[in-house]
C-alpha cells in the first residue's frame, strides 16, 4: 500500500499526456461516447406526400332525403348517415350503411320515444297524414295487410292408371334378387304433365331412385347438379365416417395413426439406419 502510493506520487502524468492518451484510446473504443448530441429524431408521422394535406374530399351527400310529413313508398331512402344518428322507427328499416328506408307507404315522421330509448332519435312512417308517432305503448300497433288474395292455379296433375309411386319392394322375391331386376319406370305420367321420369335401380344392395329429365335434343338424363353430386352418394363416400366436431377419441386415434405413419416414413427414408445422416 505504502509502495503503491509512493510509486503514484513519483509518476504524476501531465495533462497533455493524458489527453493524448485519451485520443489514442478513443480509436480502440467500440461504442462511441455520446459526447455531442446529434439532434436527429426518427419520423413517427408521415410528413411527405398525401399524408396531411388533402382533406377536401367530395361531399358524401349525407343527410335527410325526405322531410317530415312527405309521402313515401316502400324502399324510399329517408336518411343517409355515417353511423346511427337516426334509428328506424315504425314502418322503417335500416339498410346496409345505416341508411333509413321506408317499409310501408305513408308519411314520414321524425320523433323521439323516451320509453323505448331515452336518447335515440327515430324516423317512422305513418299510414294517415294525421297520425302521430310514437304510439301509446299499450295500444295495438297500426298495421296494414298490403296484400291481395288470388285464386291459385289448379295444381292437380293428371294421374294415369299405371302410377307406381310406392317404392318399397313388395314381394320377398323382389327383395332378395338384387341386381337382376331391370330398371323400371315407376312414375309414368303424360309428358305434358311432367317432363321427368323416375327410374328405380338396385345398386350396392340398396334401392336407388333416379330422376330423368327430358333435355334438349330429346335426351332423357339426370340434371347436371345431380350428376355432380353423385360422388357424394357413392360407396366410397359412404364408407367414410362423418366428421364429428367433439369426438376427441377419434381425433386422438387419427393423430396417433399419423404420428406412427410419419415415423415409419422417416425410418424408410433413412434406410433403416438409426440416428440422423452425418452432415458434410
3-state secondary structure of 92: strand
If you search the block for the grid coordinates 438409426, which residue do you land on? Answer: 274
Task: Please check whether residue 184 is in contact with residue 202, taking contact to mean a CB–CB distance below 8 angstroms.
Answer: no
Residue 6 or 140 having the CB closest to other proteins: 140
By beta-carbon proximity to other proteins, the closer residue of 137 and 241 is 137
Question: By CB under 8 A, is residue 141 in contact with other proteins?
Answer: yes
Contact 200, 179 (CB under 8 A): no
Q: Which string of x and - marks every residue 71-90 that binds other proteins (by CB under 8 A)?
A: xxxx-x--------------
Which listed residue (3, 9, 47, 147) binds other proteins by CB under 8 A? Answer: 147
Is residue 145 part of the contact set for other proteins (CB under 8 A)? Answer: yes
151 contributes a contact to other proteins by CB under 8 A: yes
Give the pairing of strands 121-126 and 87-88: parallel
165 counts as binding other proteins under rule CB under 8 A: no
Indicate the Cα dihedral angle 224, 228, 229, 231, nearest 10°.
140
244 binds other proteins (CB under 8 A): no
Q: Is 134 in the site for other proteins (CB under 8 A)?
A: no
Least gap, CB of 79 to other proteins (angstroms):
17
Torsion of CA 103, 105, 107, 108, to 10 degrees: 20
C-alpha to C-alpha distance for 123 and 90, rounded to whole angstroms: 8
Q: Which is nearer to other proteins, 137 or 279 (CB)?
A: 137
146 is an interface residue for other proteins by CB under 8 A: yes
Burial class for 86, CB neighbours closer than 10 Å (0-12, 13-18, 19+): buried
Sole binder of other proteins in the list 9, 11, 83, 150 (CB under 8 A): 150
What's the number of CA atoms in the CB half-sphere (13 Å) around residue 15? 0
- Stretch of residues binding other proteins (CB under 8 A), selected from 15-23, 33-41, 149-157, 216-224: 149-157
Number of residues that bind other proteins (CB under 8 A): 22
* Chain contacts with other proteins (rule: CB under 8 A): 71-74, 76, 105, 137-141, 143-152, 154
Amino acid at each position: 500500500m505504502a509502495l503503491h502510493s509512493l510509486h503514484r506520487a513519483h509518476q504524476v502524468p501531465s495533462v497533455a499526456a493524458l489527453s493524448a492518451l485519451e485520443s489514442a484510446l478513443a480509436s480502440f473504443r467500440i461504442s462511441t461516447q455520446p459526447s455531442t448530441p446529434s439532434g436527429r429524431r426518427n419520423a413517427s408521422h408521415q410528413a411527405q406526400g398525401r399524408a396531411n394535406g388533402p382533406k377536401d374530399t367530395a361531399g358524401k351527400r349525407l343527410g335527410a332525403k325526405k322531410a317530415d310529413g312527405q309521402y313515401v313508398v316502400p324502399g324510399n331512402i329517408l336518411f343517409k348517415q355515417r353511423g346511427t344518428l337516426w334509428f328506424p322507427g315504425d314502418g322503417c328499416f335500416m339498410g346496409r350503411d345505416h341508411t333509413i328506408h321506408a317499409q310501408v307507404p305513408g308519411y314520414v315522421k321524425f320523433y323521439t320515444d323516451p320509453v323505448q330509448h331515452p336518447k335515440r332519435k327515430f324516423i317512422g312512417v305513418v299510414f294517415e297524414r294525421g297520425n302521430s308517432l310514437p304510439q301509446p305503448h299499450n295500444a295495438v300497433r297500426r298495421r296494414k295487410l298490403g296484400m291481395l288474395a288470388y285464386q291459385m292455379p289448379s295444381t292437380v296433375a293428371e294421374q294415369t292408371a299405371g302410377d307406381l309411386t310406392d317404392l318399397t319392394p313388395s314381394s320377398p322375391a323382389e327383395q332378395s334378387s338384387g341386381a337382376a331386376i331391370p330398371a323400371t319406370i315407376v312414375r309414368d305420367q303424360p309428358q305434358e304433365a311432367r317432363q321427368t321420369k323416375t327410374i328405380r335401380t338396385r345398386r350396392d344392395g340398396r334401392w336407388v331412385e333416379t330422376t330423368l329429365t327430358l333435355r334438349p335434343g330429346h335426351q332423357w338424363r339426370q340434371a347436371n347438379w345431380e350428376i355432380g353430386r353423385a360422388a357424394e352418394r357413392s360407396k366410397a363416400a359412404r364408407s367414410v365416417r362423418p366428421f364429428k366436431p367433439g369426438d376427441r377419441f377419434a381425433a386422438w386415434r387419427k393423430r396417433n395413426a399419423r404420428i406412427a405413419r410419419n415415423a415409419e416414413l422417416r425410418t424408410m427414408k433413412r434406410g433403416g439406419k438409426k440416428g440422423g445422416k452425418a452432415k458434410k
